[in-house]
Structure 1
């Protein structure tokens, strides 16, 4: 190679110029990441300015905690270096986000243990210890899949799960962490006598009717949510009409005054999951904030609106 002697450095000289250790330079050389310009008569490595630039780049990338395989791709593919670096940084940012979220959940769990009375700590430790960090929503989704009618279409199930399963917050307050742990315990505990009791409409609707029912309910809950946020009293209107229409489609009926009266009676006899929705509201609402609407609170509001509408029609 034609590089002049004045521009060649020993491994120690390169390390000194880069502010690195000889061990670090030797490691990257052995990994094939640092180009050698030449060898001395005694077989010692000699490096030129290109190696210094490469070493500085490697150390900068390592300071971002990028793994060596990613660094190799960035260095070796000059045409795609920008894209490779962007992808590597994005990937590492996602990993760090998950790590930070896990640390915040552990912090909230530790605060919950520290703040609870000593006699309650063993139970609270068991409750919190059952959670992954960060926690997974998979147990909650499985719970709802056993509740929903069998053979419901995949898209209809996914739409309902999106509304019914709360995402764990990235920075949980201890109260939110405790509520999510209780949700996890509730949805993973064995149900006495088998599965949760099913609403009457599940038996009447079948798979196709259930898809129409839950698509309509999600729409009705969305329409009711602004009323809940503004603390409006339950009232007839577009949200209630969508709610009744969802049940009418499931029962293969029409929206009449008589149907609304019968629907109110059927709904009052159906099993409830009030505790689930109470805990969901805590998970979704940081302390000091207005409660976030949930399908449960929207359903309560709509049932009350139905009762009011029936009373006015009587």
Structure 2
């Protein structure tokens, strides 16, 4: 086609299968190059404008905003960024829709007596769901003056990521987690263990660093569903408690530790909900810090030459 060919705004619209209003809209925003003006001052467009108009309409069909269309037209490397941004946006929208669908199924499949409570729980959760309340709970629950890097690591390990495509049961588990962590850090289920209380001579940072290491060592046994037993993980667990108290992990210390852990407050409800939220459909669940702590407390009990109830975790 000759480069001298030009069209009026109506002719360009007809060739592109668009309306004159559409062509004028993009032209007024500088997205369509004008080849010339007629003697009467009317716009004339060449083949480049037709190519651009087709590209613009393709991008708009994909719901790319007009400002981003302008970026693509002006910057050679902008298309990749724009496409990546749209994919992230669509992913978030799809996740929100899946959560709403699962929430509706949860309401559909429950009894009338359950529906009011579940509706209240679900109504407090955004879609897609935010874990801000869970992270805030842990920052309030942990002892004060822990190093920031340790707090960040504990929060990352303790706060589960909601699935992108949840089941109704997972929606309910997350809604209950959100309700549990949104309230004040008080009550029997959320009581603070002794190590969190100031003026007792404990070094909480030493304890929590050691606990994280012990949990990692116990994780393979939990995944393999092995019963609690003495070994490196238990030794690390006891050592963490001993070093936090400036003591040695002697047999007498282990006896005292077992008795203390048995009497400590627990947040079992939190960990059970986390397991409900994150358990895969097949195979054993990925061990949570709470499950690892339970396993280590049971291993401590089993290692002591006495009979007693299973110890309790501090977290």
- CA RMSD, Structure 1 to Structure 2 (Å): 2.2
Change (3 A) 1:283 1:207: farther
Cα shift readout 1:87-106 (whole Å, capped 9, x = no counterpart): 22222211111111111111
- Aligned residue in 2 for 1:242: 236
Q: Distance between the aligned counterparts of 1:303 and 1:198, measured in 2?
A: 18
SS at match of 1:36: coil
| Residue number among 193, 196, 204 corresponding to 1:199 in the alignment | 193
Q: Does 2:133 align with 1:135?
A: no
Match runs of 1:193-232 below 5 Å = 196-203=190-197, 209-232=203-226
Q: Distance between the aligned counterparts of 1:93 and 1:300, measured in 2?
A: 41
TM superposition shift of 1:208: 8.6
Note the residue ranges of structure 2 that are not aligned, 5 or more in a row. 307-315
Give aligned pairs, total. 305
Say which structure is richer in helix: 1
TM superposition shift of 1:193: 6.3
Match runs of 1:163-178 below 5 Å = 163-178=157-172
Q: Distance between the aligned counterparts of 2:201 and 2:3, measured in 1?
A: 76
The TM-score with structure 1 as length reference comes to 0.91
The TM-score with structure 2 as length reference comes to 0.91
Q: Runs of 4+ in structure 1 displaced over 3 angstroms? A: 190-196, 204-208, 286-289
TM superposition shift of 1:290: 2.4
TM superposition shift of 1:225: 1.4
TM superposition shift of 1:287: 3.5
Note the residue ranges of structure 1 that are not aligned, 5 or more in a row. none
Q: Distance between the aligned counterparts of 1:221 and 1:127, measured in 2?
A: 32
Q: Distance between the aligned counterparts of 1:194 and 1:140, measured in 2?
A: 18
TM superposition shift of 1:59: 1.7
TM superposition shift of 1:16: 2.3
| Residue number among 262, 268, 271 corresponding to 1:268 in the alignment | 262
SS at match of 1:311: coil
Q: Distance between the aligned counterparts of 1:146 and 1:207, measured in 2?
A: 21
Is this contact kept in 1: 2:193–2:265, CA < 8 A? yes
